[in-house]
Chains A and B, each alone.
Chain A
Amino acid sequence: MAKIKVFINDKPYEVEDNQTIMQAADTVGFKIPRLCYHPRLSIEGACRVCIVEVYGQKNYVASCSFPVADGMKIYTETKELRRARRDIVELILDNHPQDCHTCERDSNCELQRLAYSMGIKKRHFEGERKKYQKDVSSTSVVRDPNKCILCGRCVRICSELQKVSALGHAHRGFKTVVMPAYDLPFTETVCTACGQCINVCPTAAFVEKNYTQDVFEKLDDKSLLKAVQIAPSVRAAIGEAFGLPPGTNMEKQLAAAMRKLGFDYVFDTQFGADLTIMEEASEFLERLQGKGKLPMITSCSAAWMKCMEQFHPDLIDNISTCKSPMSMMGALLKTYFPAKLKREPKEVFSVAVMCCTAKKYESARPELVVDGLRGVDTVITTREAAWMIKSVGIDLVNIKGEEFDAPLGLSSGAGAIFGTTGGVMEAAIRTAYELYTGETLVNIEVDGIRGMKGIKEGKLMMDGKEIRVAVAHGLGNAADLLDIARKEPDRFHFIEIMGCPGGCIGGGGQPYSGINSIPLDEACLAKRAQALYDLDRNKTIRRSHENPDIQRVYKDFLGRPLSPMAHKLLHTHYAKKEPRGIISRNIKAR
């Protein structure tokens, strides 16, 4: 790329052409303060915090959108500019509740950090403040417009990355507010509960529905059998909430901490993932033999399930009927597990620690109820789990690691990589290949479907038959991939879809970004993914069907994959949903 010369604060710098002032300044060590900007979203230019002076321009320009030019004289710090920027942030604060010390985002709030760095000590313009009702209708996401600073990140991620468009700006002037269509309660909207709005929100205008008090109460109940399962990507990320670098595997520490919290049994959702693979691979092979529609599309992502039922109901017959690993675990926790202990199913209190907010929604789906009981009683996110651990004073960083409990705690490497995009596909291939060909797949790492590319394609030969697979993560990429699949129905045999960017590791329940990172930073996601791939590589058992505990559960309880018992406990069904506010998916990113 061509190099050009610009002057920043009168000092010459060589920067690349065709970029914005902010990007150029970043490369030479000026991190211009910013708020509404997010590298993965379109340029909003709304907050005006990143304004700079450009010689020859009458007004300040937003450095996030203004392109550099050769010889341009840029001033990022002048007395007037500093004051204007400070005043802008002060204006945002003036219309923001001043309850930092009781706020969910305290010490993790981008606005708080910004206000500090602007040096706002004295207030000049205080006046009327907005006052709205909190929307707590959703099982997953709580919307608090009082804390909203109208940066528009949630609106953009929902329409651009997820193409769900559940949120939009409404009203004008001081009364402007971000809300779903018709200001409906969240639960009645197209919201898929993916929680990406929480991830990108700089404040606490979006947070997950908090169930920690509920869990604490149940943990005190001596009559209950308290069992918890932990999702793969929780272990790869929870360390960040304790100041550890992204991608630190906290598996064993988590198991120990959960026992310290008072759980009687600590299980691994990766076991459920292995179970899912057994069912899903078998289902795929059935479909491949003509019993059912192809391409088969995965069904483990909760947000994707709701999204599919709303926006892609034409594909319901293509969706695998398998429950998610969490819900398969849940089903066993209320059947197989109490039976083994000779206890009543209703005595089991089943908690899932998930990287996901949509799992809260999933756990309440009536389709998943087994014998009148919910498989998973309560879902808490990585963030909630981290808070619980902190609040009772468990030293997660230095705790001595422990193992998961049997019989639902042993997992293969295939189960671990479920947490990252492409992982389900890779795990399924490992087992399907062997079930189909009778031979063991030697080269089990499928490179084509790893990585952070939005839509990935791969193929492999099974007994001379070419199997073509595709992977998409993020609901927007999913929509694009499905449009391809609709146009060319024979192009793919098997499609994996994850609702969140990067898969579960980028879920809406993961720890907030730290001081030097941004939400959904690709490098951070890649490190979390690497932790899971490392986990896989270090395991001796890397294929789900080789997991002895999986073999045992089939032998003792389920029979074989797709057996009537398996169908009753491990499979589900879907139905078209039409909430108000369904609009075209094809909102153009701008």
Chain B
Amino acid sequence: MARKFNLTLCDGTSCIQKESKKIKELIEKEIEARGLSGKVTFNLSGCLGMCSKGPILIVNPGYTVYGNLKPEDVKKIFDEHIILKKPVAELTIQTDHLYNRFFRVFGDVNFFGRQMRIALRNCGVIDPENIDDYLSVRGYEALAKVLTDMKSEEVVAEVRKSGLRGRGGAGFPTGIKWELTARQKNDIKYVICNADEGDPGAFMDRSMIEGDPHSVLEGIIIGGYAIGATKGIIYIRAEYPLAIKRIEKAIEQAYQEGFLGKNILGSGFSFDVEIRLGAGAFVCGEETALMHSIEGSRGMPRPRPPYPSVEGLFGKPTCINNVETWSNIPVIILDGADWFSSIGVGKSKGTKVFALAGNIKNTGLVEVPMGTTLRQIIYDIGGGIPGNKKFKAVQTGGPSGGCLPEEFLDTPIDYESLQKAGSIMGSGGMIVIDENSCMVNIAKYFLEFTQNESCGKCTPCREGTKRMLEILTRITEGKGQEGDIEKLERLGTMITKASLCGLGQNAPNPVLSTIKNFRAEYEEHIRDKKCRARVCTYMMNYTINEKCTGCGACRRACPVNAISGSPKNRHEIDQSLCIKCGQCYKICKFSAIDRT
């Protein structure tokens, strides 16, 4: 017997009244009789609170909870669970759902307690490189259930019923996507796991694969069965070495245990999975570009239709889903579509993982039910903004998302509400911006990213975002002109409506949403040449006040020799030479430089 077990028996009053003393003696006897001391540890616990179901025995690892125990059950538990490692199903009182396991471990921490972790259920709980650990949390049970008890149409129907929508950004109903692919008649079909996470600051997919690769893999295999595919491909960024190592190991283990390969679990269903590495182009997260990349071509999107479900990878029907989507699948199968769809609001079911970043206390990954408000995430889970700064905006959906000001803080997070508010769900980036940030500069930053990552294929995205970026740059440099805002709006609207793929269609979002919500800041930049957050250094005016000691530090730091003065005398800045780089301001130790 390789595995160590720990048995915990409830020693509360209620259980004692129900023969738990007798059970305790029997357990001790069994351990001794079977020579298990050292391999099985046994302890008593205080009241677990489930008095109506006592006596309660908890077997770890796996957190199997036995209830309503009778003395005669002890032998059976040892025979089957301890020796054969098979939990005695009829004695367990497990009624809760998979995700609850997480909270047994971490639920008392405030940061976690307000979350609901389904996709991240095993992250931090199990050893991601050990398939036994995954099996102990009912791993691959969903696959077994699907292969033995369910027809492929039933799997598709279950996923459809769950209301799960694509977590990669667009939120297309997963069940419908599966159905469309399943309907195609073709000997070869593919499923693809899109792990080409490219949003700056986002790491949902990476963490999921690093923390729980088997859940993702199990989801992919189930998807393959459901749509009739024989091959799955995981497209993952080469910049994620640990995730790649973990998913490789998971695939290897799955082959060894017979969850992958020919005739999986004796069901007659055969399925293979391979990994393809992406070279880090942002646009390769777009599904058609991703498929071109797998095919060995340059990662550039193509017009749809035809959709991948009809004509995808190598021209074959292909079902492509994001990591988080796949990771939700085993839960839906085991805990049921009804349970899953009971979480969330409106047309957005289940939970969503977000990468919290920016000016916020608790940066990190959070998973919350759909319908949670932005305020709850930012203040209750994220802990608010550090340094008692004022909240200014939150940017959701990565570089393609919009910036929402304070009045949108009570927006519930779901696909429709975010869209209505002028942003997008995206893949789950969430950046909090405080009053010290300049919104024009923020918009410029994001647009710079999308312009650099544009594949260069379609005119609006390639040329249009470049011109928008030029206009934004001149605004932040104090060279904005009347009419620039209108030009940005005109270009932005056109790019949104005319671009080929999602990257272009959403690229203007940060600009359009900041113009809509922070128009005054743009106007100040253009008309008054003023940046209220004092971020756009080119608009600052620098003068030297009477605190100057004449130390000469600023004179030496100035790259254009605009500062003059003799030692120990107050220096002066020649405004006609000053390029407003701010070096003097940074270096002065005497607060002698005024920045206005």
Contacts and interface: CB of A to CB of B under 8 A. Distances in A.
Contact of A174 (B302, B315, B466, B498): B466
B470 A127 contact: yes
A92 B458 contact: no
Given A44-B457, A91-B467, A169-B298, A174 B303 contact: no
A554 B458 CA distance: 59
Given A45-B302, A59-B505, A168-B298, A88 B500 contact: no
Interface string B187-207: 000000000000000000000
Contacts of A124: 487, 490
A46 B470 contact: no
Contact of A172 (B453, B490, B498): B453
A125 interface: yes
Nearest to A128: B470
Contacts of A95: 463, 466
A173 B458 contact: no
Given A84-B494, A84-B498, A88-B498, A127 B466 contact: yes
Interface residues of A, number: 39
B325 interface: no
Given A59-B496, A176-B456, A94 B303 contact: no
Nearest to A155: B298
A590 interface: yes
A108 to B, nearest CB: 22
Given A67-B305, A127-B466, A88 B456 contact: no
Contacts of A150: 456-457, 459, 462
B174 interface: no
Interface of A is mostly: loop
B460 interface: yes
A464 B459 CA distance: 62
23 contacts: A46-B458, A46-B459, A47-B459, A59-B497, A62-B303, A64-B303, A65-B305, A67-B305, A83-B490, A87-B490, A95-B463, A124-B487, A124-B490, A127-B466, A127-B470, A169-B298, A169-B455, A173-B451, A173-B465, A174-B454, A174-B462, A174-B463, A588-B295
Interface string A160-187: 0000000011011111100000000000
A40 B475 CA distance: 45
Contacts of B494: 83-84, 87-88
B497 A84 contact: yes
Contacts of A173: 451-454, 456, 462, 465-466
Interface string B447-482: 000011111111110111111001000000000000
Contact of B455 (A91, A127, A172): A172
Contact of B457 (A88, A92, A169): A169
Nearest to A177: B456
Contact of B462 (A87, A127, A176): A176
B453 A48 contact: no
A48 B281 CA distance: 22
A60 interface: yes
A88 B491 contact: no
B300 interface: yes
A51 interface: yes
Contact of B467 (A47, A64, A125, A168): A125
B466 A66 contact: no
B499 interface: yes
Contacts of B460: 48, 88, 91
Q: Which of B459, B466, B487, B499: most chain A Cβ within 10 A?
A: B459
> Nearest 4 CB-CB pairs, A to B?
A176-B456, A45-B303, A65-B303, A91-B463
Contacts of B459: 46-49, 88, 91-92, 150
B467 A94 contact: yes
A152 interface: yes
B498 A51 contact: yes
Interface of A: 43-49, 51, 59-60, 62, 64-67, 83-84, 87-88, 91-92, 94-95, 124-125, 127-128, 150, 152, 168-169, 171-176, 588, 590
Contacts of B302: 43, 45, 590
Contacts of B456: 150, 169, 171-176
Nearest to A88: B459
A119 to B, nearest CB: 16
A43 B500 CA distance: 12
A331 B456 CA distance: 48
A169 B466 contact: no
Interface of B: 281, 283, 295, 298, 300, 302-303, 305, 314-315, 451-460, 462-467, 470, 487, 490-491, 494, 496-500, 505
Contacts of B451: 173-174
Contacts of B498: 48, 51, 59-60, 84, 88
A61 to B, nearest CB: 8
Nearest to B500: A45
Given A173-B452, A588-B295, 18 more contacts: A46-B459, A47-B459, A48-B459, A59-B498, A84-B494, A87-B490, A91-B460, A91-B464, A91-B467, A94-B463, A127-B466, A128-B470, A150-B462, A152-B457, A172-B456, A173-B466, A174-B456, A176-B454
A48 B496 CA distance: 12
A582 to B, nearest CB: 15
A73 B490 CA distance: 25
A95 B466 CA distance: 10
A562 B58 CA distance: 97
Contacts of B497: 59-60, 84
A150 B457 CA distance: 7
Nearest to B283: A172
A47 B499 CA distance: 9
Given A62-B303, A92-B463, A172-B453, A87 B491 contact: yes
Contacts of A46: 457-459, 500
A51 B460 CA distance: 12
A88 B499 CA distance: 10
Contacts of B295: 588
Contacts of A91: 459-460, 463-464, 467
A88 B464 CA distance: 8
Contacts of B505: 59
A38 to B, nearest CB: 15
A125 B487 contact: yes
A47 B457 CA distance: 8
Given A45-B302, A59-B505, A127-B466, A172 B454 contact: yes
Contacts of A88: 459-460, 464, 494, 498
B498 to A, nearest CB: 5
Contacts of A45: 302-303, 457-458, 500
A172 B281 contact: yes
Contacts of B470: 127-128
Contacts of A67: 305
A45 B289 CA distance: 13
A358 B496 CA distance: 43
Contacts of B305: 65-67
A127 B303 contact: no
Contacts of A87: 464, 490-491, 494
Residue in B303, B463, B505 whose Cβ sees the most chain A Cβ within 10 Å: B463
A92 B460 CA distance: 9
Nearest to A152: B457
Nearest to B296: A584
A94 B315 CA distance: 37
A127 B467 contact: yes
Contacts of B453: 172-173
A398 to B, nearest CB: 43
A92 B463 CA distance: 7
Nearest to A95: B463
Contacts of A65: 303, 305
A233 B315 CA distance: 39
A59 B501 CA distance: 11
Contacts of A169: 298, 300, 455-457
Report which residue of A47, A88, A92 has the largest number of chain B beta carbons within 10 angstroms of its beta carbon: A88
A125 B458 CA distance: 17
